[in-house]
């Protein structure tokens, strides 16, 4: 029988794993194998190694597309393995290095290849994956903004929704997210790192810099609207985001509070509760000059649906709110409804 911490993690993450592209049989293997949180990382690492091995074999046999998908799945599994581990920074970093290496092996072999790039920032850089579909002329692009505990490699299946509509994708791990979590702490002024992403995209001739949008989920659903005060952003989608983190901090599951504590760089959850007060859209939403789509879920157990209502109340006239009553956090249980809607909206706004 699973311990309480593991049970909470499973209940929170299972729909998310499915939406991200985890094979159902692999998920069942994990659920049928582990009983304690300490077993989470090694089991996922073993599955990642299996898929990376399948990729190596396929590549050796000249089956490049098969190899690419296997490597991308391996990268996802390496991320999942370390995503709930905060006790051993070196082990976390080791898994993150394996994640990035596996994705880099698969990137050139995807049906729409990815280029692994580095975004210059604050005297250093943070990583991004750029995928550009075959279009007549420069392509519109959407920047994909992760949640507080997710990673750019978690959004391969989402990227495909935009790509098949003729929209390039730039998924990135901003400061304090995933591969940068041990280098920087996450920050409330997300317009600063997004400005660096925009600078990088403007230098790419294959990207139409007049048609760049941004998408974000959970923490990214706060960060994307915050960044959209930059006039270079022409459309914004926020799913499962929030207006002010402090307003619902006390109702967050402890596992989420602890994840944010680590991301903030705080010693205790009580300290993190104070830091959460910095994460607010007060005075921001009315300054957004582009169309804004806010998507939320009636059954969101992380960011309450009332947060989306406060967002729409303060946004300008060119803002829409869509609530899926049956959806869980970020609609991971109904991606077949939420993702096409968001991709269609973005395609329309960017003229794809």
Q: Tell me, letter by letter, the H, E, C secondary structure of the chain.
A: CCCHHHHHHHHHHHHHHHHHCCCHHHHHHHHHHCCCHHHHHHHHHHHHHHHHHHHHHHHHCCCHHHHHHHHHHHHHHHHHHHCCCCCCHHHHHHHHHHHHHHHHHHHHHCCCCEEEEEEEECCEEEEEEEECCCCCCCEEEEEEECCCCCCHHHHHHHHHHHHCCCCEEEEECCCCCHHHCCCCCCCCCCHHHHHHHHHHHHCCCCEEEEEEEEEEECHHHHHHHHHCCCCCEEEEEEECCCCEHHHCHHHCCHHHHHHHHHHHCCCCHHHHHHHHHHCECCCCHHHCCCCEEEEEECCCCCCCHHHHHHHHHHCCCCEEEEEECCCCHHHCCCHHHHHHHHHHHHHHHHCC
Averaged pLDDT, 9-29: 89
- Window from 2-6, 141-145, 199-203 with minimum mean pLDDT: 2-6
Q: Which class is 112-244+279-352 in CATH?
A: alpha beta
Residue labelled with tokens 């967002």: 311
- pLDDT-derived band at 121 (thresholds 50, 70, 90) equals very high
Dig out the tokens for 97 from the structure: 């290095």
The model's pLDDT over 60-76, given as tens digits with 9 standing for 90+, comes to 999 999 999 999 999 99
The model's pLDDT over 145-179, given as tens digits with 9 standing for 90+, comes to 999 888 999 999 999 999 999 999 999 999 998 87
Dig out the tokens for 181 from the structure: 């979590």
Averaged pLDDT, 123-149: 96
Closest CA to 170 of 239, 224, 109: 224
- pLDDT-derived band at 2 (thresholds 50, 70, 90) equals low
Closest CA to 223 of 211, 241, 196: 241
Q: At residue 342, what are phi and psi to the nearest 5 degrees?
A: -70, -40
The model's pLDDT over 316-347, given as tens digits with 9 standing for 90+, comes to 899 999 999 999 999 999 999 999 999 999 99
Residue 234 has pLDDT above 70, yes or no: yes
* 144 and 65 Cβ atoms separated by less than 8 Å: no
Q: Left, alpha or beta for 231 (phi > 0: left; psi -120 to 50: alpha)? A: alpha
Dig out the tokens for 343 from the structure: 């991709």
Averaged pLDDT, 195-213: 98
Superfamily name with CATH number, domain 1-111 = acylaminoacyl peptidase (1.20.1440.110)
Distances (CA, A) of 344 to 165, 201, 237, 351: 8, 22, 11, 10
The domain segmentation of the chain, as residue ranges, is 1-111, 112-244+279-352
Determine if the pTM surpasses 0.85. Answer: yes
* 159 and 185 Cβ atoms separated by less than 8 Å: no
Question: Would you give the end-to-end CA distance of the chain in angstroms?
Answer: 50
Distance CA 318, CA 233 (A): 14
Dig out the tokens for 149 from the structure: 């505990």
pLDDT at 97: 93
Residue 12 has pLDDT above 80, yes or no: no
Question: What per-residue string of b and e applies to 287-303 under the rule 16 or more CB within 10 Å gives b?
Answer: ebebbbbbbbbeebebb
Residue 1 has pLDDT above 60, yes or no: no
- The residue count of the chain comes to 352
The 10 Å Cβ neighbour count of residue 130 is 22
- Percent of the chain's residues with pLDDT above 70: 98
């Amino acid at each position: 029988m699973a311990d309480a911490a593991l049970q909470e993690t499973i209940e929170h993450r299972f729909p998310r794993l499915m939406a991200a592209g985890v094979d159902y049989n692999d998920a069942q293997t994990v659920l049928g194998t582990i009983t304690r949180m300490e077993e989470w990382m090694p089991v996922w690492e073993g599955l990642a190694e299996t898929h990376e091995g399948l990729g190596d074999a396929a590549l050796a046999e000249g089956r490049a597309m098969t190899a690419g998908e296997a490597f991308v799945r391996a990268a996802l599994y390496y991320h999942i393995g370390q995503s709930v581990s905060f006790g051993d920074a070196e082990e976390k970093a080791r898994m993150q290095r394996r994640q990035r290496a596996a994705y880099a092996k698969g990137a050139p072999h995807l049906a729409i290849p990815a280029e692994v790039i580095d975004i210059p920032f604050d005297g250093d850089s943070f990583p991004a994956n750029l995928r550009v579909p075959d279009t007549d002329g420069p392509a519109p692009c959407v920047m994909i903004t992760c949640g507080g505990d997710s990673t750019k490699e978690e959004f391969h299946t989402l990227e495909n929704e935009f790509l098949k509509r003729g929209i390039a994708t730039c998924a990135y791990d901003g400061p304090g997210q995933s591969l940068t979590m041990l280098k920087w702490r996450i920050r409330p002024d997300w317009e600063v790192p997004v400005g660096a992403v925009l600078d990088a995209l403007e230098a790419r001739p294959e990207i139409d810099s007049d048609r760049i949008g941004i998408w974000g989920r959970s923490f990214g659903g706060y960060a994307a609207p915050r960044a959209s005060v930059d006039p270079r952003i022409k459309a914004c989608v926020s799913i499962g985001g929030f207006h002010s983190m402090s307003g619902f901090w006390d109702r967050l599951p402890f596992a989420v509070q602890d994840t944010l504590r680590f991301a903030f760089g705080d010693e205790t959850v009580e300290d993190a509760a104070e830091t959460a007060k910095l994460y607010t859209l007060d005075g921001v939403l009315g300054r957004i000059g582009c169309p804004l789509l806010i998507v939320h879920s009636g059954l969101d157990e992380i960011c309450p649906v009332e947060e989306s209502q406060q967002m729409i109340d303060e946004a300008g006239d060119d803002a829409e709110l869509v609530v899926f009553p049956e959806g869980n956090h970020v609609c991971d249980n109904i991606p077949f409804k939420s993702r096409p809607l968001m991709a269609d909206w973005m395609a329309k706004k960017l003229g794809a």
